[in-house]
Amino acid sequence: MNYASVVRILALVMLILAGASLPAVLTAAAYGEYDQVFAFLAMVLGISVIAASILFLTPRPTQKSRPSDALGLVILWWFLAPVAACLPFVVGVQNQSLLQAIHEAAACLTTTGQSVIAVEGDRWPSSLIVWRGTLHFVGGAASIITAASVLAALNLGGPGIHRSALFVMPETSFFDAVPKVARSVVLIMTVSITVTVLALELAGMSAGRAMSDAVSVWTTGLVDPAPYGRANAGPVADIILAFGLMGGALGLAVALPLRERRLVKAATDPETTMFVFLVILFTVMAVASGVKVFESLGWAISALATSGLPLGSADTWNLVPLPVFVLPALIGGSALSAAGGVKIARLIVLARRAGVEFRQLGYRRSVLGFQFRDREMDERSVIGVWVYLVAYILTVFLVMVGFAFTGLPFESSIRLAIGCLTNSGGLVAGHVAQLDNAASILAIFSMVLGRLEILAIIPAISVSFWRG
């Protein structure tokens, strides 16, 4: 492990997190929320002192960084960032628990969106809503950047589902290639959110709600801590949000072809076509459960995006049976998006492999293969996906049992286990009672585990990984 490189980059990323608090600080000052101003400045000061000390005391690295070093950085970032960003959730709200503040920050950074802090009348300080949105943006961008660079280099999942034109393995240090990916991802997200905000405002939505909803759809999160008691935004706004959710769920799979004006490629991408098929499938399931057609369509899009942002009537989320409700979240969105879940690309690989097996039933000696994005899939790729799927299912079961041992009822344990591991706010927001310390720690770990796509955390268990 190239510790000098890892800790220096981690310090720089933490400084970026501290700088990202500027909009929240300005909002707090503008609205006279001086407790929040103090909390944000204290957070910035703490991060800056620690990060600057690391940069000053740590020597410049003398060896090249490898993808394994980047994985170590990513693991440290996801566990330390919620701790660094939690202080504003302690001051100025009805919360005296540092653990709950860390939980709140982790839910925002992982774009799960769950809120565990009780605020009288759900009237949150404006600066904290801005901070929640900022953390969603930072976390969503970090998820996509990690997938398109670190996970692509490590090829987690076997078939190279994280590959994109943005990342090329450098001959120098691995971290030299990451800024290009980061700039592209941040630019795409910023432009997408800005266009969505303007469209929502033209549809009659207030500026504050337009901003929080736009960030929610493109980060597939849940910025507003209490979205289910709001008035319906109207059909035009719901259509705009639906397109935003589809864009957020598909991520770079459609964003990169659209940026290059390759509309046909974006529309015919395997993950795009599978996403449309799954939306239709889950819409039919919701209609069969007694939900209206357009309400079912809105739920299916939001659930597959693992956002939890209700389109249309929020009552829809209570009408869909739990076994149907959890399926879209488990599948999730594109591998190069901020959506959680197993990922559509892995589902496509398994489905195509199953098709090959069925075709070979009558012709055992035949040699058949299949492709994913013009790349021939070998047995190792398929085995990698199967291993991931088994590990995911086992993790869901173990986390569910863990929540049950904390005293939570069976349904809440299912919702929390799947909701946290898939970073799906719709499964946990507004449905799960206040958590005790043990359940909160398990939820934080599960949300981070979901962002690391489970298999990425396995090397961290080995001592040799940190010694190498």
Q: Which residue has the tokens 């040699």?
A: 367
What DSSP designation does 236 have?
Answer: H
> Degrees (nearest 5) of the Cα angle 63, 165, 176?
20
Q: How confident is the model at residue 161 (pLDDT cuts 50, 70, 90)?
A: confident
Predicted local confidence at residue 88, as pLDDT: 92
Question: What are the residues facing 376 on neighbouring strands?
Answer: 371
Examine the pLDDT at 411 and tell me if it is beyond 60. Answer: yes
Per-residue pLDDT, averaged over 7-31, amounts to 94
Q: How many CB atoms lie within 10 A of CB 106?
A: 30
Q: What is the pLDDT of residues 328-359, one digit of tens each?
A: 999 999 999 999 999 998 898 888 878 777 77
Closest of 252, 41, 227, 220 to residue 136, by C-alpha:
220
Per-residue pLDDT, averaged over 424-430, amounts to 77
Read off the amino acid at residue 450.
Answer: G
Phi, psi (deg, nearest 5) at residue 255: -65, -45
Percent of the chain with pLDDT over 90: 49
First to last CA, the chain: 5
DSSP three-state, residue 158:
coil
DSSP three-state, residue 264:
helix
Per-residue pLDDT, averaged over 79-92, amounts to 91
| Rounded distance between C-alpha atoms, residue 30 and residue 24, angstroms | 10
Per-residue pLDDT, averaged over 273-277, amounts to 94
Q: What is the pLDDT of residues 166-213, one digit of tens each?
A: 878 777 788 888 899 999 999 999 999 999 999 999 999 989 899 999
Instruction: Transcribe 159-227 into DSSP letters.
Output: S-TT--TT----SS-GGGGHHHHHHHHHHHHHHHHHHHHHHHHHTT--HHHHHHHHHHHHHTS--SS-G
Positive or negative, the CA dihedral 53, 56, 59, 60 is positive
Per-residue pLDDT, averaged over 241-256, amounts to 93
Q: What is the pLDDT of residues 32-82, one digit of tens each?
A: 999 899 999 999 999 999 999 999 988 887 778 888 888 889 999 999 999
Q: Which residues contact 216 (CB under 8 A, 6 or more apart)?
A: 113, 136, 222, 223, 224, 227, 307, 309
Q: How confident is the model at residue 308 (pLDDT cuts 50, 70, 90)?
A: confident
Q: What is the pLDDT of residues 380-392, one digit of tens each?
A: 778 888 888 888 9
What token pair was written down for 432? 């799960």
Q: E strand or H helix at 411, and its extent?
A: helix 410-421
Predicted local confidence at residue 114, as pLDDT: 84
What DSSP designation does 372 have?
Answer: E
The predicted model scores a pTM of 0.93
